[in-house]
Amino acid sequence: MRNSSIRPAASAILLASALNLAAAAPPTSATLDRGRYLMNGVVACANCHMARGPRGEYLPDKGLSGGLLFQDKMFTAYAPNVTQDRETGVGKWTDAQLARAIREGVRPDGSLIGPPMPVEFYRHMSDEDVNAIVAVLRTERAVSNAVPKSTYNFPLPPSWGPPVTSVKAPSRADKVKYGEYLATIGHCMECHTQRDPKGMLVTASLGSGGRVFPGPWGESISRNLTPHESGLKSWTDAQISNAVRGGVDRYGTPYKPPMAYQHYKNIDDSDMAALTAYLRSLPPRPFGE
Ligand code: HEC
Ligand code: HEC
């Protein structure tokens, strides 16, 4: 009798301490490698969140402490500080709160994160990948940098969609599907698709380009990524890879920002092949239509 009344309690304590250990366990190096690979590559959070100097140059010492201004007819948005600083960054947020901010666009205080943070795309990021990115954010040095609040000239929607519970990435064996997954978490189509006057992506013209990006570089216009004559139809795989990973066109002329070429150069060959297979699977559409 005595034994049977003690045992459950003792095992409950053991279980509780095992759970504590699990919660406190540092992420594995494989998790951190995966998170770094994504962030230094196709996901490129730094393209928006890295602190920059007056000519738009990266300030690596200041890490992801934000400040970049996005000016649009619809908004004046600033990339916030996402370093571990407890006052001006996200140092006080839990891992779950960070994952929710990335995939659902909801801050711990319940407010909604606005564009151009590509939440509509990040919703489809797998649990494994979002956790890997959060683990890397935790390793970021705290940098104090107070960033102004964004203002939007339109009411943000009540949410970006239902809560994201569990997402699995498609198998790498399915090249087209996995390529679509990479293009989604890399939010390629965010820039390569036009938006309607309400700011919604025109899905019927997915990937056909034509969005205009004004900036210190003058103006750049996103290209047609579909296999149409006005798009990538006659391009070789090597030319597509050179454009994405090398930032140069078929004649070797460098492209203008804001595409994240400095990061995309780290996309590995197998992921580049998957991205290319996906682009080739898109329905051909004329430029901007
Ligand atoms: C295209 C630019 C862009 C990209 C890419 C981007 N962000 Fe953001 N992010 C923003 C902007 C702008 C905001 C603020 C929007 C607002 O003020 O409502 C934001 C907000 C956030 C916030 C909320 C912070 C706060 O204090 O409110 C977090 C956390 C965040 N981003 C993390 C990330 C991570 C992690 C990645 C990569 C997986 C990423 N972002 C990629 C532009 C971007
Ligand atoms: C922040 C916006 C943005 C994002 C994100 C983006 N691109 Fe681009 N992309 C552009 C712009 C703008 C150009 C044209 C630049 C120029 O004309 O100098 C371009 C050019 C290209 C080209 C050259 C095509 C041609 O006909 O010359 C390819 C290929 C391409 N992007 C593929 C991708 C892929 C794949 C991704 C995702 C991994 C991606 N882009 C993400 C904005 C973006």
**pTM: predicted TM-score of the whole model, two decimal places:** 0.92
Q: What tens digit of pLDDT does each residue of 145-204 get? A: 999 999 999 899 999 999 999 999 999 999 999 999 999 999 999 999 998 887 788 999
CA 10–ligand 2 middle distance (angstroms): 59
Cα separation of 130 and 100, whole Å?
A: 9
Q: Which ligand is nearest to the CA of 113?
A: 1
The residue ranges of every structural domain in the chain are 29-169, 172-289
26 falls in which pLDDT band (50, 70, 90)?
A: confident
* 3 state SS of 103: helix
CATH 1.10.760 fits 172-289, yes or no: yes
Q: What tens digit of pLDDT does each residue of 187-246 get? A: 999 999 998 887 788 999 999 999 999 888 899 999 999 999 999 999 999 999 999 999
Nearest CA residue ID for atom 12, ligand 1? 79
Cβ of residue 258 lying under 6 Å from some atom of ligand 2: yes
Nearest CA residue ID for atom 42, ligand 2? 259
CA 79–ligand 1 middle distance (angstroms): 6
Cβ of residue 256 lying under 6 Å from some atom of ligand 2: yes
Cβ of residue 64 lying under 6 Å from some atom of ligand 1: no
256 falls in which pLDDT band (50, 70, 90)?
A: very high
